[in-house]
Amino acid sequence: MPEKETLRRAQEDKREGKAPSTQAGEFVREEIDHIREGKHGARSTKQAIAIGLSKARRAGVKLSPPAKGKASTKTRRSAARALEAGKQKTKPSAKRSRATENALRHEGHAAGSKLALSRQAHAASRKRSATDRSASARKAARTRAHERA
């Protein structure tokens, strides 16, 4: 279950009209923090991000599953299931939650390190085209200019 503070931050992002991916970012941040605090571990940074995104979908963030060809069928199906779970307000299974936490406790904590995160970000950006990265940077510059005004 996400922390109240994370839910509050995500709600605030939604009110401000920010994208679902930005709202979901709060849950990913929480997951990275949990790994750094030693609450549990993760096999990789990618897994930590996936857990965060799943939590976001289950908490009601309207983050659509990855498009066909972007991720495996299993991942897309899992994301769709998490999104559906977010629409129905059912309490998660305590037994299942406990089992997941226990499994994650046995994993390492290197996935939350600054080095691992920067490697993941670098690898992810390398998969994008130069035009795509450039457009993203231009958009970021626009928002920064807007913040200053």
What are the boundaries of each domain within the chain? 4-112
The number of CA neighbours under 13 Å toward the Cβ of 25 is 9
Q: For 38-87, what is each residue's pLDDT tens digit?
A: 999 999 999 999 999 999 999 999 999 999 998 999 999 999 999 999 99
Contact assessment for residue 5 and residue 59, using Cβ atoms and an 8 Å cutoff: no
Q: For 23-46, what is each residue's pLDDT tens digit?
A: 999 999 999 999 999 999 999 999
Q: For 102-124, what is each residue's pLDDT tens digit?
A: 999 999 999 999 999 999 999 99
Least confident of 7-16, 31-40, 76-85, 134-143: 134-143
Predicted pLDDT at 8 = 95
